[in-house]
Chain A
Amino acid sequence: MLKYIVRRFLEMIVTLFVIATATFFLLAAVPGDPLSDRVEKLPEETRINMYKKYGLDQPVLQRYVTTMKSMLKGDFGESIRMPGYDITRLIRETMPISARLGIQTILVGVLVGLLLGILAALFRGSWVDYTIMFFAILMISVPILIFALLLQKYVAGDLGLLPVIGWPSGSEQWFGGWEYTVLPTLSGCFTYIAMYARLLKTSMLDVVNQDYILTARSKGLSEPKIVFRHLLRNSFIPVITVLPMSIAGAITGSFFIERVFSIPGFGRYFIEAVQARDVSIVLGQTVIMSAIYVVLIFLVDILYTLLDPRIRLSGKG
């Protein structure tokens, strides 16, 4: 087990290194540089100083080495687009916002989705099943974007029930200001509801036909005991596989929801930073997001063994 953890940890470091390198060179491969628009009208000397400040006067390889070295120390450098900002400050200010929205979305989406999935599987072939599955397909056929726009227009705009845009801040950052969070959470959670309802239903139908369910039944176990002890426990394995991906995606921010509802979250800055070729911010955000993904996937692999005694981790993989 320890051997496995060490090996996976080293692999994670290599993955993050590769991602950072690829991102760096992709950004460097785009012709032009991030400063040229801003320094056009400045005098020659200031311009040279500006380039020196961000290290853009050096050749690419040199810049790569410097960036990687400072990255190891946790320093991604100052933002070019927003002077005075660096990735640490950006994370401190925007991450809690995206994380709260993400956690709310996942909680509502996954819980409702799993509940509907269980209902659909237990009443398979009945109208309950067909209704749930039809709405699940309908939900994944409507882009989040359109949900967000329609909710914003009709619920917030025309009916005036909830605020159109905005997000609680200050002392209400984590709790409070709920009326602002309802619509963004709703627009985000539909996808998860549909996804988890379908996933759990399929997985439950797979498990129901397994021999151990037959054994449980022939032992004379009561129906609730079969469902909760054997059926659900084994059906949750595929759910656990995709859950961390959903969590990582949700807490690092949704570009569309944050844009539609003007939420100052983490995801919104990514597009702006890439378009401005703000190397330090893009690199920082990419590495942080990938790190969250990689770590969560790692945790899942460990979690597997707890859920399914058939899976054993080995040093070889």
Chain B
Amino acid sequence: MEKILEEDFRIVGCEDSDKNAVVTPTITYMKDAWRRLKKNPVAMISILVLILIALVVIIGPFIQQYDYTFIDPAGKNQLPNAEHWFGTDSMGRDLFTRVCIGARVSLLIAVVCTAVQVIVGAAYGGIMAYFGGIVDNIMMRIIEVLVSIPYLLVVILVMMVCGNSKGSLLLALCLTSWCGTARTIRGVILQLKSSEYVMAARALGTPASKIILKHLIPNTLGILILNTATSLPSYIFQESTLGFLGMGLQPPETSLGVLISLGQTSMQFYPYQLLFPAGILVLIVLAFNLFGEGLRDALDPKLRK
């Protein structure tokens, strides 16, 4: 038998070894979702359309320098032409400028209301679910009462008391809208609450506010994003229907809803006055909905293959 000498052995060491190195970068849930979203052509086109509309709506009124409240008695009801791209309305106001301003207001209302809804809803739902017990019970009852009052009644009354300004419209739309979000978030957090990482955080003495903000809410992000995507178009809808019922903004202020209701009065002879604002509204909502659909596919782990 061959003799084994000590010289046959040498220390290889483990310094150079990269067996434990991470070869593929870790992909977080959000990165993964984003990667899948990028592969979805419909969602990408929708977001492009939305960006384009936003740009036109912001820059548009500066190109031709019309004032959206400027009344030109000589140029009433002009059909779309080179000077007035969307024509003029029954008071000779440039319809393109008005549609831009109106869409701006509608988008602004949608974005602000959605932000309020998501932030208040997440905070309320988070607190409700985290503390549980009697806090949960009381906060849940408050939601039940708020939800049971007819939505239209609240909106009309707020508009009556606070006047027809942008602020009161925002208030009216936001007042009870967060309840749905709060309920959804509550449901999710109730499940997350018993996770080990929450227990660990609690054992370390982390204050409740930090646990909710740093640990629980980030884990509901997917649901919150979806909530945002579905809420944006619904607020544009709500604003337009209120405008149509004459309960939205009052002239000279304008929005897509106000323009549609003005367009309705002259649609028999000048249908373009209805079709332009209505078309823009449908385009915005359609883009939001298609994007939301893509987002849901990207975020929903159930659909992963």
Contact = CB atoms under 8 A, between A and B. Distances in A.
Interface of A: 15, 18-19, 22-23, 26-27, 29-31, 137-138, 140-143, 145-146, 149-150, 153, 157, 255-256, 259, 270-271, 274-275, 282, 286, 289-290
Nearest to B244: A145
30 contacts: A19-B149, A22-B145, A22-B148, A23-B150, A26-B157, A27-B157, A30-B157, A31-B161, A137-B286, A141-B233, A141-B282, A141-B289, A142-B285, A143-B285, A145-B241, A146-B281, A149-B274, A150-B278, A153-B271, A153-B274, A157-B268, A255-B245, A256-B244, A256-B245, A271-B245, A271-B247, A274-B152, A275-B156, A275-B160, A286-B153
Nearest to B245: A271
Given A26-B153, A143-B282, 16 more contacts: A19-B149, A30-B157, A30-B161, A141-B233, A141-B286, A143-B237, A143-B241, A145-B240, A146-B260, A146-B281, A149-B274, A153-B274, A255-B245, A270-B150, A271-B247, A274-B153
B139 to A, nearest CB: 16
Interface of B: 144-145, 148-150, 152-154, 156-157, 160-161, 233, 237, 240-241, 244-245, 247, 260, 264, 267-268, 271, 274, 278, 281-282, 285-286, 289-290, 293
A207 B267 CA distance: 47
B157 A286 contact: no
Contact of B149 (A23, A138, A256, A271): A23
A150 to B, nearest CB: 8
Contacts of A259: 245
Given A19-B149, A143-B237, A137 B293 contact: yes
A270 B156 CA distance: 11
A256 B241 contact: yes
Contacts of A138: 286
A31 B237 CA distance: 29
Contacts of A140: 289
A311 to B, nearest CB: 18
Contacts of A153: 267-268, 271, 274
Contact of B264 (A141, A149, A290): A149
> Which of A153, A256, A290 has most chain B Cβ within 10 Å?
A153
A138 B286 CA distance: 6
A149 to B, nearest CB: 6
A18 B145 contact: yes
Contacts of B247: 271
> Which of A30, A143, A149, A289 has most chain B Cβ within 10 Å?
A143
Contacts of A256: 241, 244-245
A132 B271 CA distance: 29
Contact of A30 (B160, B264, B267, B282): B160
B157 to A, nearest CB: 6
Contacts of B149: 19, 22-23, 26
A138 B149 CA distance: 31
A199 to B, nearest CB: 14
Contact of A137 (B144, B240, B241, B290): B290
B231 to A, nearest CB: 14
B156 A271 contact: yes
A146 B259 CA distance: 12
A143 B257 CA distance: 11
> Which of A23, A138, A141, A290 has most chain B Cβ within 10 Å?
A141
A15 B244 contact: no
Contacts of B290: 137
A307 to B, nearest CB: 23
Contact of B285 (A19, A22, A141, A150): A141
Nearest 3 CB-CB pairings of A with B: A141-B286, A141-B285, A274-B156
A27 B286 CA distance: 37
Contact of B282 (A142, A271, A275): A142
A289 B150 CA distance: 9
A153 B266 CA distance: 11
A277 to B, nearest CB: 8
B230 to A, nearest CB: 10
> Which of B157, B233, B274, B278 has most chain A Cβ within 10 Å?
B157
B43 to A, nearest CB: 12
A143 B283 CA distance: 11
A137 B289 contact: yes
A288 to B, nearest CB: 11
Nearest to A289: B150
B107 to A, nearest CB: 15
Nearest to B275: A150
A261 to B, nearest CB: 13
Given A141-B282, A149-B267, A286 B150 contact: yes
